[in-house]
Amino acid sequence: MRQTWGVYEGFFKCLRLGISVEGRAIQAYLGPGPAENMTMILAGFHGDEPKGVFVARRLIEHLSSDPTAGQGVGWMIVPIVNPDGYERRKRRNAHGIDLNRNFPTKNWVLSSRRSRMFGGTRPGGEPETLAVIEAVRRYPPQRIISIHSISGGRECNNHDGPARAIAEAMHRVNGYPVSSSIGYPTPGSFGTWAGVEQRIPIVTLELPSTHSSKRCWEENRGALLCSH
């Protein structure tokens, strides 16, 4: 396995959660904090949203250089859920499937293959989706932040499940609106699977894609650290 972020192994343990369609490793960084107070942070579900990946990687660096910053929390950070899509800067995985519509939720629907939100021919059918599900089962988080980015001034702290208080705490730092809906239906989304169905508090953090990566990090460092 090619290891590009091994320099952080002093603080984080690097785990391979699974393998993408094209054989790339889906890596997780597991901190030394208590497993019973686990915050799971995921980014790069959509390969064309590199600002989320940047922010997740900066958080890995930040916690590595200042372990007191996130004390008392068992961090698990997955910077790139969809490494094949990220390699090409494409939203979907190598099968042309939107991973954030591929989770086995009650509201999963078969959508058009031509849709950029095509959720596959069956829910939970993609290796990247299964790797995330397995990680949530093996390392049960108390809360999850899933980092995306969005255009048109629609940045928000979008909460699913019992996560309103977390979204409000994040809002006080990043200033983005708190919302219970992104404004359109998201059948088969990770938020619905984890938050609505598994009852794990989850905030889908939609970064403003018009802001620089650096600004996204500066606006959200405190928001991610206060999320517990």
Residues in contact with Zn ion by CB under 5 A are: 46, 49, 148
Token pair listed for 53: 């990946």
Q: How far is the CB of 13 from Zn ion (least distance, A)?
A: 27
Q: Which residue has the tokens 């609106």?
A: 177
Report the nearest approach of Zn ion to the CB of residue 187 (Å): 15
Q: State the nearest-atom distance from the C-beta of 6 to Zn ion, in Å.
A: 27
CA dihedral 16, 137, 195, 101 (to 10 degrees): 50
CB 177 within 8 A of CB 157: yes
Tell me the residue ranges of DSSP E strands in 58-168.
Answer: 74-78, 143-150, 156-160
Asked if residue 172 lies in contact with residue 184, where contact means CB atoms within 8 angstroms, the answer is no
Taking the complex as a whole, the smallest distance from the CB of residue 96 to Zn ion amounts, in Å, to 16
User: Please, which residue, 63 or 156, has the CB nearer to Zn ion?
Assistant: 156
Q: Which is nearer to Zn ion, 49 or 219 (CB)?
A: 49
Nearer to Zn ion by Cβ, of 147 and 170: the residue is 147
Could you tell me the smallest distance in angstroms from the CB atom of residue 178 to Zn ion?
Answer: 18
**Shortest distance, CB of residue 156 to Zn ion, whole angstroms?**
12
- Contact in structure between 154 and 179 (CB atoms under 8 Å): no
9: Cβ contacts below 8 Å, ≥ 6 apart: none
Rounded Cα distance between 199 and 191, Å, is 10
Maximal C-alpha separation, the chain: 48
> Nearest to Zn ion by Cβ — which residue?
148
| Nearer CB in complex with Zn ion: 63/81 | 81
Please identify, using beta-carbon distances, which residue of 46 and 57 lies nearer to Zn ion.
Answer: 46
Which residue number, 74 or 85, has a Cβ lying nearer to Zn ion?
Answer: 85
* Stretch (H or E) spanning 61: helix 50-65
Is residue 28 helix, strand or coil? strand
Q: Are 111 and 119 in contact (CB under 8 A)?
A: yes
